[in-house]
């Protein structure tokens, strides 16, 4: 299971969508490629694929979108359909347990339709094998009956475009990966891009916000538009209830302090892990299970929920000897590392190369 998928959804900074997100997201999704913010490379590549297909009057190659949740894979798949003026059918790997489930979907597609298959890496093996043939030859063999009397009835499919999304392109079997004509790798968004996302969403939600307010929310959103949109909604509540509705830098910062999302996007659990590492273990190295006991969480929760972001932010490093805090971690919590840690020797020294003396 991916570290992303195992995140509990009750965290404000989780990248997975909860019920409220799903309801609001539909309204916030950009509809066309030119409204889609950031991901310049994927956008340019995709725009060429789509334009060429439109010129040829044919369905484009199948598209694979890979990257962490909440970066806009579903949104892009809808944009692909909109740009092609084609209908879209949305399903997901876990929803397709049997090859028959997939056969039913494929056989009801219309010509040129876009089929969006989210979490494609979680499809069952027989369905996956059926998909190979459907993608390549626009044909499936439907098996009728069981045992020695079973027969395969070939079924022609209209040309369609599969858009697969995965958080883990590496988990896809090569035969499946190879059948996509184009793979777009989605990256975390830069703060300036997220600021534009916040600004745009604020406009759609009728929230009055100034540029510094949008920047403040963007900086705490962990590079993820879904989180940016969620934080914006919480900040909007705060601005409306406690103030006059206008979101400024100060209001955004105050609101997110109430919700325990700090200036760098760390929440309570992330900070508890760092604090234990620094205060109880002098910055490490300390074993995962010891660290987990210190924060009163399961080792899996610390490893899969808190650590990926802390590692990505360069605040924590996983080493064979245990978890180590980096110079940036001490700095972030406003603490001075002990002398022994400030001048490390050997293997750890590169962790300090860009930190304070």
Task: Using CB under 6 A, list all residues that contact ligand ATP.
Answer: 16-17, 25, 28-30, 36-38, 69-75, 118, 165, 197, 225-226, 229
Give me the least distance between CB of 276 and ligand ATP, in Å please. Answer: 30
Give me the least distance between CB of 13 and ligand ATP, in Å please. Answer: 14
**Closer residue to ligand ATP, CB minimum distance, 196 or 268:** 196
> Is 280 marked as binding a ligand?
no
**Closer residue to ligand ATP, CB minimum distance, 38 or 284:** 38
Q: What is the 3-state secondary structure (H, E, C) of 270-306?
A: HHHHHHHHHHHCCCCCECHHHHHHHHCCCHHHHHHHH
> Is 29 marked as binding a ligand?
yes
* DSSP SS3 for 42: helix
Give me the least distance between CB of 290 and ligand ATP, in Å please. Answer: 33
| Residue 226 annotated among the catalytic residues of the structure | yes
**Closer residue to ligand ATP, CB minimum distance, 118 or 297:** 118
**Closer residue to ligand ATP, CB minimum distance, 93 or 284:** 93
Structure tokens given for 225: 């538009």
> Is 132 marked as binding a ligand?
no
Give me the least distance between CB of 43 and ligand ATP, in Å please. Answer: 9
**Closer residue to ligand ATP, CB minimum distance, 118 or 303:** 118
Whole-number Cα distances in Å, 254 to 25, 231, 270, 278 = 25, 12, 19, 26
Give me the least distance between CB of 24 and ligand ATP, in Å please. Answer: 7
Give the active site residue among 226, 230, 236, 271. Answer: 226
> Is 56 marked as binding a ligand?
no
Cβ partners under 8 Å of residue 174, min gap 6: none
Radius of gyration of the chain (CA): 24
| Residue 167 annotated among the catalytic residues of the structure | yes
Question: Nearest-CA neighbor of 266 among 342, 181, 347, 328?
Answer: 328
**Closer residue to ligand ATP, CB minimum distance, 226 or 332:** 226
Give the active site residue among 11, 14, 74, 271. Answer: 74
The span from the CA of 227 to the CA of 229, in Å, is 5
Give the active site residue among 14, 166, 167, 301. Answer: 167
> Is 74 marked as binding a ligand?
yes
> Is 75 marked as binding a ligand?
yes
Give the active site residue among 11, 14, 21, 118. Answer: 118
Give me the least distance between CB of 46 and ligand ATP, in Å please. Answer: 12
**Is 121 within 8 Å of 147 (Cβ atoms)?**
no
The span from the CA of 323 to the CA of 278, in Å, is 11
Structure tokens given for 203: 């406009």
Whole-number Cα distances in Å, 113 to 37, 81, 296, 322 = 25, 8, 50, 50
| Residue 91 annotated among the catalytic residues of the structure | no
Q: β-pairing, 322-325 with 182-185?
A: unpaired
| Residue 74 annotated among the catalytic residues of the structure | yes
What DSSP letter does each residue of 225-268 carry, written as one string? HHHHHHHHHHHHHHHHHHSSS-B-HHHHHHHHHHTT--TTS--H
> Is 236 marked as binding a ligand?
no
Residues in binding site for DNA: 318, 323
Residues in binding site for Mg(2+): 74
Q: Active-site positions?
A: 73-74, 118, 167, 226
């Amino acid at each position: 299971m991916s570290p992303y998928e195992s995140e509990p959804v009750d965290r404000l900074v989780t990248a997975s969508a909860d019920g409220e997100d799903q309801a609001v997201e539909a309204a916030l999704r950009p509809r066309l490629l030119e409204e889609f913010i950031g991901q310049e490379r994927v956008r340019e590549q995709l725009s060429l694929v789509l334009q060429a297909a439109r010129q040829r009057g044919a369905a484009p190659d199948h598209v694979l979108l890979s990257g962490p949740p909440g970066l806009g894979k579903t949104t892009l798949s809808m944009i692909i359909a909109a740009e092609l003026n084609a209908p879209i059918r949305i399903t997901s790997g876990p929803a397709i347990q049997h090859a028959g489930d997939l056969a039913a979907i494929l056989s009801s597609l219309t010509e040129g339709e876009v089929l969006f298959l989210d979490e494609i890496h979680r499809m069952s093996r027989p369905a996956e094998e059926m998909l190979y043939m459907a993608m390549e030859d626009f044909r499936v063999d439907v098996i009728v009956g069981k045992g020695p009397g079973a027969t395969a009835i070939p079924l022609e499919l209209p040309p369609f475009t599969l858009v697969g999304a995965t958080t883990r392109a590496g988990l896809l079997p090569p035969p499946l990966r190879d059948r996509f004509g184009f793979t777009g790798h989605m990256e975390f968004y830069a703060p300036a891009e997220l600021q534009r996302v916040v600004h745009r969403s604020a406009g759609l939600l009728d929230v009055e916000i100034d540029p510094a307010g949008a920047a403040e929310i963007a900086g705490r959103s962990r590079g993820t538009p879904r989180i940016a949109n969620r934080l914006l909604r919480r900040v909007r509540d705060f601005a409306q209830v406690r103030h006059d509705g206008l979101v400024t830098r100060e209001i955004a910062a105050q609101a997110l302090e109430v919700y325990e999302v700090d200036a760098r996007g760390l929440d309570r659990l992330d900070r508890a892990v760092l604090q234990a590492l620094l205060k109880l273990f002098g910055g490490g190295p300390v074993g995962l299970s010891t660290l987990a006991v210190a924060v009163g969480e399961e080792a899996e929760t610390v490893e899969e929920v808190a650590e990926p972001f802390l590692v990505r932010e360069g605040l924590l490093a996983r080493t064979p000897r245990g978890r180590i805090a980096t110079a940036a971690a001490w700095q972030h919590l406003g603490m001075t590392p002990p002398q022994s840690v400030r001048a490390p020797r050997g293997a750890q020294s590169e962790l300090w190369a860009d930190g304070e003396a």
